[in-house]
Amino acid sequence: MMKRLLYTLMFLLLAMMSVRAQSDASEALNKVHNFYSLATAGDAEAQYRLSSCYHDGYGVEQSDSLAFYWARLSAQQEHPAGLYFLAYCYETGRGANANQSNASYLYQQAFEKALPLATRGDASAQFVVGKIYDYGNGGVKLSHETAVTWYRRAAEQGYAGAQFNLGNCYQLGEGVQQDKKQAVYWYRQAALQNDPDAQYTLGLCYASGEGVAKSARHAIEWFRLSARQGNRLAQQILLSINLAW
């Protein structure tokens, strides 16, 4: 009787995990479909978002060339995030031949276009300004403190990328006093918005017990959510312990 009950519980658990995985995959596909519809209609923000999807393999097969293609279309409309991402492509040689001169010019353009928008409260632009200060792109003097200021403004508006980067700042003590509990707080905010990098990093926090009570179960849950969105590091961890996602 007990064995039958255990088998039933295991079956139900596996069924729930399968439904959740299908739901996550469906959500990713729906987002990409929406981005594609808007992007082909000329929406610069959607073009940037679609570029990011191809770069990360979120809801689509990973493709550097398509990431570059959509970033270029967004940048042609002077969208700050599109300009920044196109600069990144030229800097790293992903999807295009590496060209540091082009990268530097585009980072400068991204900063010039983003700063006025960021000052007026645009979260996407605030995130771009934060990244440029964080990495000292395009000749802007590196300042982690200034980066934290802009990340926080965007993060408090619910911008997942800024929440994740702000979590990194707290984790590393860059531009702010190190506080691993605050790092976990911001990672969680981004993870709850299905940011795969934040989900993976939150899994690491649970696995190591940094900033949160150690929990293998919670670590695996977050690794799985990240892996289903294409995060290769999360996939490798799960494969290493013979777990599917």
CB 145 within 8 A of CB 177: no
Residues 6+ apart with CB under 8 A from 150: 118, 126, 127, 129, 130, 133, 162
Q: Could you report the per-residue pLDDT of 160-189, keeping only the tens digit for each?
A: 999 999 999 999 999 999 999 999 999 999
Alpha-carbon distances, residue 245 vs 20, 59, 60, 83, 138 (angstroms): 10, 15, 17, 34, 40
Q: How far apart are CA 137 and CA 84, in angstroms?
A: 9
User: Which tokens is 62 given?
Assistant: 């990973």
Residue 8 has pLDDT above 90, yes or no: no
pLDDT, position 17: 44
Nearest to 95 by CA among 51, 129, 64, 137: 64
What is this structure's pTM?
Answer: 0.85
pLDDT band at 196 (very low <50, low <70, confident <90, very high): very high
User: 């658990």: which residue's tokens?
Assistant: 13
Q: Where are the domains of the chain?
A: 38-117
Q: How far apart are CA 162 and CA 151, in angstroms?
A: 5
User: How is domain 38-117 classified at the architecture level of CATH?
Assistant: Alpha Horseshoe (1.25)
Residue 118 has pLDDT above 90, yes or no: yes
pLDDT band at 25 (very low <50, low <70, confident <90, very high): low
pLDDT band at 18 (very low <50, low <70, confident <90, very high): very low
Q: What percent of the chain clears pLDDT 90, i.e. is strictly above it?
A: 81
